[in-house]
Amino acid sequence: MAKIFYSVCGEGRGHATRARAVIEQLRANHEIILYTSRDAFAFLAPIYSGTNVRLRRISGLRFRYTPDRFLDYTRTGWSALHYLRRLPTLLRLIESAIDRDRPDLVISDFEPALPRAAARRGVPFISLDHQHFLTHYDLGSLPFRLRCHAAYMSWIVRACCSGQRETIISSFFFPPLRPGTSPATQVGVMLRPDILNATRSNKGHLVVYLRKFAGRDLLSVLRRCGRETRIYGLGAQPFQGNLTFHPVQEQRFLEDLASADALISTAGNQLAGEALYLGKPTLVMPEAGNFEQCINARFLKQSGAGDSVDLERFDGVALACFLSRLEEFRSRIDTRRLNGLPATLAALRKHLAPVPSLEPAPLEPAGQTAPLEKAR
């Protein structure tokens, strides 16, 4: 049995969902100590409380938004500087934990502190995330503006995580690797057992997932679409005609998605990949100023399995066009490479001692939630 330190970016739920799928395959045979912050901590803490996965809260990078829903680069930059001022203290705390617990392997999902601490303590680490597509994928099919932003963002990705023993890139799209880059393993999205075993149907309703914001006219457009629409991400609210609002409760969301006709959401990689695996045409709305989501949206459109529209340009015409093409989109979904777990586990086995199997572990009362309060 190996001891694994696993760190996860705390912004949003995509990183946490991906990490959870991997952890569920590792925890039966390995000891997992999980480091994360903010949204990811809030999502994972109730799941792993009282189990054999120990969760430790750390400080993390935070994205800031303007009142009109654009990514605020100035405030996000100041937040990053504040994080960097606290980073030496955080590194000392994690290094102390490494010295005490002696992990055999470190895995990082776009979280910068644990890989740095691991490198300083001589512990091998692996990068397992989506963001390294910016450093390794051939993005020549993208418009010039997005290629420029990708080149700029690739330096941030390298600054966040470099020197890893292996780079595993999880994505719902698979362009060629860029010539001259270091080796990388391309895999699909990390699918939880609930996704893999879900009963799929098309019952006529739409599922909408929004993170933080809804466009000014989005809800009024959805009210006029004539379909039952189940909205997640805006919290529980009174229903509005055909619109119902739900807190993000994982099992309820999965059941609604598996039985939906289509998904409308922001352009996060993890959710788009899950929806496509379930056979759901997807209309994505990249968050304003989030160029990673803009790139995801472009590749979704190129695949023919869905469409994209700017959040501020979402209107009845865009929605009607998407709904009129559902059968066309559905026929173009190719699920053969979307389940990235088998290839990921094969890559991880190379860095772990042999074990009988890598099957999901039952819940066991062996873990605890232990925040690293001094680093917050």
pLDDT for the residue 354: 67
pLDDT for the residue 97: 97
245 contacts 234 by C-beta, under 8 angstroms: yes
Would 3-190+340-375 and 194-331 be classified into the same CATH topology? yes
- What is d(CA 75, CA 329) in angstroms, rounded to the nearest whole number? 39
**CA quadruple 14, 17, 20, 22: dihedral sign:** negative
pLDDT for the residue 362: 44
User: What pTM does this model have?
Assistant: 0.88
pLDDT, tens digit (0-9, with 9 covering 90-100), for 198-241: 999 999 999 999 876 666 688 999 999 999 999 998 888 899 99
Q: Look up the CATH superfamily of 194-331.
A: Glycogen Phosphorylase B; (3.40.50.2000)
195 contacts 277 by C-beta, under 8 angstroms: yes
pLDDT for the residue 364: 42
Q: What are residue 46's phi and psi, to 5 degrees? A: -70, -25
Give the CA dihedral 244, 249, 250, 255, nearest 10 degrees. -40
CATH number of this structure's domain 3-190+340-375: 3.40.50.2000
Which portions of the chain are predicted below pLDDT 70? 63-76, 212-216, 354-376
Name every residue whose Cβ is closer than 8 Å to that of residue 243 and which is 6 or more positions away in sequence.
Answer: 219, 222, 223, 229, 231
Domain ranges of the chain: 3-190+340-375, 194-331
- What is d(CA 176, CA 54) in angstroms, rounded to the nearest whole number? 37
pLDDT, tens digit (0-9, with 9 covering 90-100), for 145-178: 999 999 989 998 998 888 999 999 999 999 999 9
pLDDT for the residue 217: 82
- Enter the tokens of residue 245: 């609002």
Report which residue type is found at 330. R
Helix (H, G, I), strand (E, B) or coil at 177: strand
